């Protein structure tokens, strides 16, 4: 039940915004972190611009059933200056949250991050999308350069075994892993700062975590370099040239420190609603690898790519360091230090659960390469190229979640479960639609895509056919990959350890291992790809089944009903696109014709089915087009 707000009613689409645009003490351009804007305290105006309404009375105070007490009603903090009272979901939807905190008015000079408006989320997502797309394009250019310079033979297989290190490091330290612990921790610190907690919780958090993590990153880098021969033997026992793989592994081990710092800075900046620098890290990373391959490839061979990984990791840190330092220099409240809660925000149990989940998820790659090392030379390369292309739709679908994860974490830190639930459900709908649209194109146009991207130099037509077949099988697991990525964020958004996602991922790994061992003999690389798709789908099902008290309590039946709409549209779009691709086998014309067909069929069917993730997006595009047209004609 919701008590009628004291301001005029708003539609569902605007209610989620929580009026961040009206109240926001930070401008959207400042929050996005435009190039060169430091977001100094002066650019936001004094904290007093929030007024007394900026405080909360017993913010987040909740009964055991999960409903708010009378004191838990929220004042105008984050709601544009209009008071409102919330009564949350029934007891069955309750979710364990951080302990209730009684707020005091923010002291002079205190700073805060305003609730995100829909307009801000759209702009932040656009910034992230553009830079992520640029990073993905450079990633494809990196893979093209690798294929062109070194082909798909034993030398490339050796490097790709070493490539396991940056793949694991990016998952553990940047994309998942530490981000699941640090984003909620920084969100909680920012919430405590806004409530007038003593000292500066944000600086206390950095001081208590960053030095220790740096030492851990250095130690892990040294450990990997020292044990490289044993790692190569364990990862790929049938590799023709293990010495080359050992050299590449030692060179890539350096990236652990760079990736760790980059992941830390990314989490902190995203919690502060700064998305420009974190979104640019893969542009810098891939630029470093490509440059190293072309500059050093003639003398060092494929080892040049390993050097590029180390250089790229350093560039990821350099890109974010100015913004991170700028945020730490923000004016802090003039209150005596007593911020122990922020120091305890990142506990050993929390770090253990998120890292174990990320480790289990990335171990799918270990299983693939272990099984593929027993096949003919080039099998690992075919799996790698197919996976890189097939995962592009998943990467694009997760961009919104990258932006909204801090929003969900901040909502839970504020005790607003309803806002967190609505945000997660919308993320699921939109991410699924984007993923299935891309997957239908990937499956329908796989041969044309691979030929256009890779078939040149040492990459032969035979490699194209093998990679395209693997890519189509991989794509069958993309929905499971996206659902897992969205759902696991809701388990860790409250900055509390949860072992359920680890168990869910372990269940999927067991399924991948057994299915892969059973199918690799008769089906080869196709059996390995099928095992990957099956295992991650099992994980997604287990995570969805566990939604409720352990996480943000989404309405599972309603979500499944919404997801079935784009799934039906994607199946028909894939069939139509595949039929057209077979009629036009040439790379460029076939990709254009089949891709256009798949996209058009999917959008039309999704619109007809009133899919939640497609219809608002199309309306937004239409509105944006009208505004741009109006702007040009003024």
Q: What is the 3-state secondary structure (H, E, C) of 207-232?
A: HHHHHHHHHHHHHHHHHHHHCHHHHH
> What is the pLDDT at residue 338?
42
- On whether both 84 and 161 belong to a single domain, the answer is no
> What is the pLDDT at residue 181?
82
Number of domains in the chain: 2
CA separation for the pair 83, 476 (Å, rounded): 48
Q: Which of 19-23, 34-38, 88-92, 184-188 has the highest mean pLDDT?
A: 184-188
- Residue among 229, 327, 232 nearest 277 (CA): 327
Six token digits for residue 303: 């080892």
- Residue among 223, 77, 502, 221 nearest 86 (CA): 77
Six token digits for residue 501: 């996602």
| Last residue within a domain, chosen from 40, 62, 93 | 93
Residue 115 binned pLDDT confidence (cut-offs 50, 70, 90): low
Residue 618 binned pLDDT confidence (cut-offs 50, 70, 90): low
Residue 163 has pLDDT above 90, yes or no: no
Residue 616 binned pLDDT confidence (cut-offs 50, 70, 90): low
Sequence-ordered strand ranges (E) for 26-65: none
Residue 320 has pLDDT above 60, yes or no: yes
- On whether both 61 and 193 belong to a single domain, the answer is no
DSSP string, 436-499: HHHHHHHHHTHHHHHHHHH-STT--HHHHHHHHHHHHHHHTTHHHHHHHHHHHHHHHTTS---S
> What is the pLDDT at residue 634?
46
CA separation for the pair 608, 594 (Å, rounded): 21
Could you tell me if 187 and 413 are in contact, meaning their C-beta atoms sit under 8 angstroms apart?
yes
CA separation for the pair 189, 480 (Å, rounded): 33
Q: Would residue 462 count as lying in a domain?
A: no
- On whether both 164 and 76 belong to a single domain, the answer is no
Element (H, E) at 412: helix 399-413
CA separation for the pair 230, 106 (Å, rounded): 55
Least confident span in 105-114, 202-211, 271-280, 619-628: 105-114
> What is the pLDDT at residue 37?
39
Q: Would residue 158 count as lying in a domain?
A: yes
- On whether both 35 and 172 belong to a single domain, the answer is no
Residue 135 has pLDDT above 60, yes or no: yes
Q: How many CB atoms lie under 10 A from the CB of residue 211?
A: 10
Residue 73 has pLDDT above 70, yes or no: no
- Collect contacts of 319-322 with beta carbons under 8 A, ≥24 apart: 319/277, 319/280, 319/281, 319/283, 319/284, 320/262, 320/265, 320/266, 320/269, 320/277, 320/278, 320/281, 321/265, 322/38, 322/277
- Tell which phi-psi region holds residue 58, choosing left (phi > 0), alpha (psi between -120 and 50) or beta: left
Q: Which residue shows structure tokens 């030692």?
A: 250
What is the mean pLDDT of the segment spanning 322-350? 64
- On whether both 167 and 302 belong to a single domain, the answer is yes
Q: Which residue shows structure tokens 């932006």?
A: 403
Residue 497 has pLDDT above 80, yes or no: no
Q: Would residue 193 count as lying in a domain?
A: yes
Least confident span in 241-245, 330-334, 412-416, 515-519: 330-334
Listed in sequence order, the residues at least 6 apart from 313 whose beta carbon sits closer than 8 Å to its beta carbon are 166, 169, 254, 255, 257, 258, 259, 262, 285, 288
> Which residues are 62's β-sheet partners?
68
Q: What integer best gives the mean pLDDT of the chain?
A: 77
- On whether both 181 and 282 belong to a single domain, the answer is yes
| Last residue within a domain, chosen from 93, 112, 128 | 93
> What is the pLDDT at residue 629?
53
Six token digits for residue 455: 């078939």
Q: Would residue 537 count as lying in a domain?
A: no
How many angstroms separate the most distant Cα atoms in the chain?
73
CA separation for the pair 447, 465 (Å, rounded): 7
Q: Would residue 618 count as lying in a domain?
A: no
What is the mean pLDDT of the segment spanning 163-184? 84
Q: Would residue 463 count as lying in a domain?
A: no
Least confident span in 88-97, 587-596, 606-615: 88-97
What is the mean pLDDT of the segment spanning 556-583? 93
> What is the pLDDT at residue 536?
94
> What is the pLDDT at residue 621?
53
- Residue among 116, 109, 89, 105 nearest 17 (CA): 116
The per-residue pLDDT for range 590-609, each reduced to its tens digit, is 999 999 999 999 999 999 98
452-to-396, 407, 444, 518, 546 alpha-carbon distances in Å:
20, 39, 14, 33, 42
Name the more confident of 464 and 339: 464
Could you tell me if 16 and 118 are in contact, meaning their C-beta atoms sit under 8 angstroms apart?
yes
> What is the pLDDT at residue 495?
67
Residue 311 binned pLDDT confidence (cut-offs 50, 70, 90): very high
Listed in sequence order, the residues at least 6 apart from 406 whose beta carbon sits closer than 8 Å to its beta carbon are 183, 186, 187, 270, 271, 273
Could you tell me if 194 and 280 are in contact, meaning their C-beta atoms sit under 8 angstroms apart?
no
Q: Would residue 521 count as lying in a domain?
A: no
Could you tell me if 351 and 178 are in contact, meaning their C-beta atoms sit under 8 angstroms apart?
yes
Q: Which residue shows structure tokens 């009613």?
A: 9
DSSP 237: T
- On whether both 79 and 224 belong to a single domain, the answer is no
Residue 55 has pLDDT above 90, yes or no: no
Residue 345 binned pLDDT confidence (cut-offs 50, 70, 90): low
CA separation for the pair 47, 630 (Å, rounded): 36
In the chain, % helix, strand, coil (3-state, to 5) comes to 70, 0, 25
- On whether both 247 and 341 belong to a single domain, the answer is yes
| Last residue within a domain, chosen from 50, 73, 93 | 93
Residue 526 has pLDDT above 90, yes or no: yes
Residue 625 has pLDDT above 70, yes or no: no
- On whether both 158 and 88 belong to a single domain, the answer is no
Range(s) of the domain holding residue 50: 12-93
Residue 336 binned pLDDT confidence (cut-offs 50, 70, 90): very low
- On whether both 276 and 170 belong to a single domain, the answer is yes
Residue 6 binned pLDDT confidence (cut-offs 50, 70, 90): very low
Could you tell me if 267 and 232 are in contact, meaning their C-beta atoms sit under 8 angstroms apart?
no
> What is the pLDDT at residue 92?
39
CA separation for the pair 236, 383 (Å, rounded): 14
- On whether both 57 and 205 belong to a single domain, the answer is no
Six token digits for residue 167: 């793949």
* Burial track 113-151 (b if 16+ CB lie within 10 A, e otherwise): bbbbbbebbebbbebbbebbbbbbebbbebbbbbbebbb
Please state, for a pLDDT cut of 70, what percent of the chain lies above it: 75
- On whether both 44 and 184 belong to a single domain, the answer is no
Q: Would residue 196 count as lying in a domain?
A: yes
CA angle, 339 as apex, 334 and 344 as ends, to 5°? 160
């Amino acid at each position: 039940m919701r008590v009628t707000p004291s301001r005029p009613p708003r539609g569902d689409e605007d209610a989620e915004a929580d009026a961040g645009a009206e109240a926001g003490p930070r401008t959207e351009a400042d929050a996005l972190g435009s190039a060169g804007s430091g977001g100094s305290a002066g650019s936001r105006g004094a904290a007093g611009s929030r007024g007394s309404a900026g405080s909360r009375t017993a913010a987040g105070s909740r009964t055991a059933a999960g409903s708010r007490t009378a004191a838990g009603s929220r004042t105008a903090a984050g709601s544009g200056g209009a008071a409102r009272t919330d009564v949350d979901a029934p007891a069955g939807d309750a979710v364990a949250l951080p302990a209730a905190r009684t707020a005091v008015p923010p002291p002079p000079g205190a700073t805060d991050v305003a609730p995100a408006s829909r307009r801000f989320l759209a702009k932040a997502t656009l910034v992230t999308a553009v830079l992520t797309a640029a990073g993905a394009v450079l990633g494809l250019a990196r893979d093209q350069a690798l294929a062109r310079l070194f082909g798909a033979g034993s030398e490339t297989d050796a490097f790709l075994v070493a490539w396991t290190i940056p793949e694991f490091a990016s998952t553990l330290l940047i994309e998942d892993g530490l981000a699941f612990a640090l984003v909620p921790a920084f969100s909680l610190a920012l919430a405590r700062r806004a409530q007038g907690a003593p000292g500066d919780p944000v600086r206390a958090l950095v001081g208590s975590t960053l030095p220790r993590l740096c030492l851990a990153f250095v130690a892990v880098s040294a450990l990997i370099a020292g044990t490289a021969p044993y790692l190569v033997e364990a990862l790929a026992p049938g590799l023709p040239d293990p010495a080359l793989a050992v050299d590449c592994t030692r060179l890539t081990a350096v990236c652990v420190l760079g990736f760790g710092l980059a992941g830390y800075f990314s989490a902190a900046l995203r919690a502060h609603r700064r998305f420009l620098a974190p979104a640019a890290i893969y542009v810098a990373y891939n630029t470093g690898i490509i440059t190293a391959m072309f500059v050093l490839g003639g003398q060092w061979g494929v080892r040049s790519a390993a050097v590029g990984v180390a250089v790229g990791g350093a560039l990821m840190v350099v890109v974010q360091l100015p913004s991170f330092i700028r945020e730490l220099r923000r004016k802090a409240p003039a209150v005596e230090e007593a911020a122990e809660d922020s120091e305890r925000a990142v506990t050993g149990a929390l770090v253990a659960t998120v890292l174990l989940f990320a480790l289990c998820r990335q171990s799918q790659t270990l299983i693939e390469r272990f099984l593929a090392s027993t096949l003919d030379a080039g099998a690992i390369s075919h799996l790698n190229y197919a996976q890189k292309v097939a995962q592009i739709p998943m990467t694009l679908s997760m961009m919104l979640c990258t932006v909204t994860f801090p929003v969900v974490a901040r909502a839970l830190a504020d005790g607003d479960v309803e806002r967190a639930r609505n945000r997660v459900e919308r993320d699921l709908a939109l991410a699924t639609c984007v993923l299935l649209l891309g997957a239908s194109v990937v499956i329908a146009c796989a041969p044309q895509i691979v030929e256009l991207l890779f078939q040149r130099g040492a990459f032969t037509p035979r490699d194209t056919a093998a990679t395209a077949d693997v890519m189509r099988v991989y794509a069958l697991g993309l929905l499971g990959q996206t659902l897992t990525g969205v759902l696991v964020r809701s388990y860790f958004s409250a900055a509390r350890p949860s072992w359920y996602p680890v168990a869910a991922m372990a269940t999927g790994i067991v399924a991948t291992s057994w299915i892969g061992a059973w199918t690799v003999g008769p089906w080869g690389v196709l059996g390995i790809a099928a095992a990957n798709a099956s295992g991650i789908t099992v994980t997604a099902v287990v995570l969805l089944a566990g939604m409720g008290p352990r996480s943000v309590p989404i309405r599972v039946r309603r979500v499944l009903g919404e997801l079935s709409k784009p799934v039906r549209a994607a199946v028909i779009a894939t069939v139509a696109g595949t039929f057209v691709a077979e009629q036009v086998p040439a790379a460029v014309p076939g990709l254009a014709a089949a891709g256009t067909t798949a996209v058009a069929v999917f959008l039309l069917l999704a619109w007809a089915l009133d899919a939640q993730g497609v219809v608002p997006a199309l309306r937004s595009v239409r509105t944006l087009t009208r505004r741009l047209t109006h702007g040009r004609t003024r």
